[in-house]
Structure formats: C-alpha cells, structure tokens
Amino acid sequence: MNTQWQGRVAVITGAASGFGLEVARLAAQQGMKLVLVDVQAEALQRAVAELDALGAQTLAQVLDVSDAAAMDALGAAVQQHFGAPHFVFNNAGVGAGGLVWENSVADWNWVLGVNLWGVIHGVRVFTPLMLAAAAADPAYRGHIVNTASMAGLLTPPNMGVYNVSKHAVVALSETLYQDLALVTQQVRASVLCPYYVPTGISQSQRNRPAQWAAEAPTRSQLIGQAMSDKAVGSGKVSAAEVAAQVMAALDSGGFYLYSHPQALGNVQARWQAIVQGHNPPDPFAERPQVGEQLRAALRLG
C-alpha cells in the first residue's frame, strides 16, 4: 500500500463499470475514501457492496454528470461528508458514431453533455475545493484526471460526435494543467487517452436518457456501432491495466496517459500534416481493408 494516499478522498464518476470501477478498486486498496458516482443505480449498488467489503469508506451518488445542479450538489455533499477531495477522476463517458451530418441534435446533446459537460462540471465544482484545501495546508496534494480518448488526438471517420467531445476534453485538460501551474504546485492534472479497451462504453445507449432519445439509426450509425463493438470487444489491454496507469500518475505527475502508445504513430502523422499544411492523412493507412469495407458500405450511388 502507498501510504501517501491512505485516508485521502477520491471522487470517481462512471464508477460502476470500466475504468471507473477498476480505479475505485485500486484506490480502495490504497486506503482511500471513495465517492462513487454513476447514472446506473443497480450497477453502482453492486460496486459499493464490493468496495465496502474491502473495507473502504464510500459515499455513493446516482446522478447524471451533465446536470449542473446535480454536480453542484455532489460537490457540497463531498465537502460535507469527507472534506475536499485529493483525487478527482472525471471519467463518465458515452459512445456514439455515424456520419457527422447524420447525428441528431439529441445525439449531440447527449454525447457532449456526458463526455464534455460532465468533465467541465467536475473541473468547475472540485478544483476550487482542492485549491482552498491547498491554500489551507501546505502538505495537501491533489490530482485531477480527465478521461478523453485517442479519438481526442485523432479524427477517425464515422464517429465525429465522439471525436469532437474527446478533442474538447484534451483541450480542457491541457488548459487546466497550464492554469493550475500558474497558481499552485499542489494540484496537478492528467488526461487519459485510451484506445480500444474492453469496457461497457460501446453499449452506452442503454443509459441514454429519455429526453435525448435516439431516432431510428442510420446505416452509418449501425455500421459504426458494429465496428465499435468489434474493436472494443477484441481489445487486448484490460481496463485494470489502464487503471493502474491512472493511479501511477498520481505519484509520477505524468500528464498524457496512453493505453496503446503504439497508436501514437497515427497522431504523429496527423500533426505532421497540420504543421506542413497537408490534407488530413488516410486514417486507414495501416488497415486499408477496413477503409475499403467502410467506403464500399457507405458510398453513394
């Protein structure tokens, strides 16, 4: 056990499954107090039961991270119950695909609401609490980790609404890192950019609220869903391995966290095109058969 984090407070959104649950398990092993947040009531109840059995002190909150008032109330509850958090994992996320002009207003509101506004609210609500704790105690240390994606560094086709949300999270996280550096050395930030890892994100439609109900899926959206199911389901890196990287960053202070660093070649190719003023590179250069299949399925005429 790393005693540095024993007794410290962790706030984890999307805590009932995937990266959130695996990070919660590791945080419990470190002796941290856990604030577990998820929109899935039954799954969250199971997670709390498991973590309570490990001896963790937990506070569970069922809420939608896109809801500003609910997140404000969460911040107040955390402050009252445990005090200022030391670790905030803004991790809740959903997935959606399809040709970018085919995404409905409801699609955009849902995906940006969870993936982007959820992170914005986490930063907006908890950073001031952490800074106040740092000002009051020179020994205080805090860390914020925001979950983005490799889709926040790349622009793969047929998943534009997701790409936009994750690019925004990367920009927010980089700016948060720089802003924190202006005012303190006691609170740091990281951004998690996983690639295809077996989690429940490809099935996130199950948690879509009625107010943003989906329309009948288009052909491109059905294809995008099938491709996502296959890619996520066949991922070789586990959510537990990614969670270990997240927890290690609390000690190392590393900012960019990658599940698949081998995918950075595609990022480098994109940035070279940007710097050199070239057109965007072929996203299927390493897997041309996938590109051929997708183009054949979606080609007009």
Q: Percent helix, strand and coil across the chain, each rounded to 5?
A: 55, 15, 30
User: Does the residue 279 lie in any domain?
Assistant: no
Nearest to 147 by CA among 60, 18, 54, 42: 18
User: Does the residue 96 lie in any domain?
Assistant: yes
Return the bridge partners of 95, or none. Answer: none
Going by pLDDT thresholds of 50, 70 and 90, the confidence category of residue 28 is very high
Going by pLDDT thresholds of 50, 70 and 90, the confidence category of residue 291 is confident
User: Does the residue 23 lie in any domain?
Assistant: yes
| Pairing of β 142-147 and β 87-90 | parallel
In this structure, how many other beta carbons lie within 10 angstroms of the beta carbon of residue 125?
A: 22
Tell me the per-residue pLDDT of 96-132, one tens digit each, with 9 for 90 and over: 899 999 999 999 999 999 999 999 999 999 999 999 9
Residue 203 phi, psi dihedral angles, 5° rounding: -110, 25
Distance from C-alpha of 214 to C-alpha of 188, rounded to nearest angstrom:
38
Going by pLDDT thresholds of 50, 70 and 90, the confidence category of residue 212 is confident
User: Does the residue 206 lie in any domain?
Assistant: yes
User: Residues 6 or more apart from 110 whose CB is under 8 A from it?
Assistant: 94, 96, 208, 209, 212
- Residue 177 in this model has a pLDDT that exceeds 80: yes
For residue 45, what pLDDT is reported?
A: 97
For residue 128, what pLDDT is reported?
A: 98
Report the domain count for the chain.
1
Q: Is 177 a catalytic residue?
A: no
User: Does the residue 117 lie in any domain?
Assistant: yes
- CA geometry: angle at 190 spanning 13 and 24, to 5°? 35
Catalytic residue among 140, 162, 196, 258: 162
| Structural domain harbouring 160 | 3-271
User: Does the residue 36 lie in any domain?
Assistant: yes
Going by pLDDT thresholds of 50, 70 and 90, the confidence category of residue 175 is very high
What average pLDDT does the chain have? 93
DSSP secondary structure of 174-213 = HHHHHHHHHH-SSEEEEEEE--S--SSGGGGGGG--GGG-
Q: CA–CA distance from 66 to each of 38, 90, 92, 276 (Å)?
A: 11, 12, 10, 38
User: Does the residue 74 lie in any domain?
Assistant: yes
CB 60 within 8 A of CB 48: yes
Would you state the structure tokens that stand for residue 276, as one six-digit string?
Answer: 């050199």
User: Does the residue 281 lie in any domain?
Assistant: no
Q: What is the mean pLDDT of residues 186-203?
A: 84
Q: What is the CATH number of the domain that holds 87?
A: 3.40.50.720
